[in-house]
C-alpha cells in the first residue's frame, strides 16, 4: 500500500482498533442521557434518543419519546447497527489473527457498509422528526449526536478499506514476493 515505512504485519491491528473506536462511539451515542439536542438558551429543553426533558435542575419534566414511531425506528436502527458493529469488530479480530481471506474481508466490509446505511438513516430521521414535532426555537445538536455520526463515518471508511484489503492479503500475512524496481533480462 504505502511502500515507504508501513509494514503490513505491524499495522494489521489498525482496522480492529478503528472498529473498537466505532463501537465506543456508538455506545456513547446510544446511552447518552444528556441529550442529542439542546435549546440555545441553555439546557432547559433537551432531547436524547430516548426522551425529551424540559426544566432546570430539580424541576425537570421528562417524557419518553418511545411513544413516537419515528423515535422507535431511530432506536431500533441505532441498536441494530451497534449489534452488527460488535459482530464485525469480533470478525475483524478473527480475520487479523488467523489466515486472512479475501471473502472474509469483503464480508466484513459489506457488514460495515450495512451498518453505515442503517445509522445514516437513523441519524437523518431524528433531526427531521425533531424539527417537525418538537422544535420550538433555536437548537443545536450535542456531542452525543456527533459521536453517532463519528461511528457512522468510521464504519463507512472501514467498509471501503476492508473491501480493498483483498489486494494486500499476501503483504498482511508476510508471504509477499519481493518486488524489484529494476529487473534485468
Segment 7-41, tens digit of pLDDT: 556 667 888 899 999 999 999 999 987 778 887 77
Q: Which residues contact 54 (CB under 8 A, 6 or more apart)?
A: 44, 45, 60, 61, 62
Q: Please give the Cα distance from 29 to 114 (Å, whole number).
A: 18
pTM value is 0.81
How much is the CA Rg of the chain, to the nearest whole Å? 21
Question: What is the share, in percent, of the chain residues with pLDDT greater than 90?
Answer: 36
Average pLDDT rounded to a whole number, residues 62-84: 91
**pLDDT tens digits, one per residue of 150-176:** 999 999 999 988 888 777 666 665 666
Task: Tell me the C-alpha distance between 50 and 95, whole Å.
Answer: 35
pLDDT at 104: 83
pLDDT value for 29: 92
**Closest of 176, 155, 159 to residue 21, by C-alpha:** 155
Q: What is the pLDDT of residue 89?
A: 94
Structural domains for the chain:
14-35+68-173 (1.20.140.150)
More confident residue, 4 or 40: 40
The more confidently predicted of residues 9 and 98 is 98
In this prediction, residues 115-136 reach a mean pLDDT of 86
pLDDT value at 147 more than 90: yes
CA–CA separation, 175 and 169 (whole Å): 9
Q: Grid coordinates standing for 92?
A: 475483524
Amino acid at each position: 500500500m504505502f511502500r515507504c515505512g508501513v509494514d503490513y504485519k505491524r499495522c494489521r491491528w489498525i482496522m480492529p482498533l478503528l472498529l473498537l473506536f466505532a463501537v465506543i462511539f456508538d455506545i456513547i451515542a446510544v446511552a447518552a442521557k444528556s441529550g442529542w439536542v439542546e435549546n440555545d438558551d441553555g439546557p432547559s429543553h433537551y432531547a436524547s434518543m430516548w426522551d425529551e426533558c424540559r426544566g432546570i435542575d430539580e424541576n425537570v419534566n421528562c417524557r419518553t419519546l418511545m411513544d413516537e414511531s419515528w423515535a422507535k425506528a431511530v432506536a431500533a436502527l441505532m441498536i441494530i447497527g451497534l449489534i452488527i458493529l460488535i459482530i464485525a469488530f469480533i470478525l475483524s479480530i478473527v480475520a487479523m489473527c488467523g489466515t486472512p481471506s479475501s471473502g472474509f474481508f469483503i464480508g466484513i466490509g459489506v457488514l460495515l457498509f450495512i451498518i453505515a446505511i442503517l445509522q445514516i438513516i437513523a441519524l437523518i430521521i431524528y433531526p427531521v422528526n425533531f424539527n417537525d414535532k418538537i422544535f420550538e426555537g433555536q437548537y443545536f445538536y450535542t456531542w452525543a449526536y456527533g459521536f453517532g455520526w463519528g461511528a457512522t463515518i468510521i464504519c463507512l471508511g472501514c467498509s471501503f478499506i476492508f473491501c480493498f484489503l483483498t489486494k494486500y492479503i499476501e503483504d498482511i500475512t508476510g508471504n509477499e514476493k519481493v518486488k524489484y524496481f529494476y529487473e534485468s533480462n
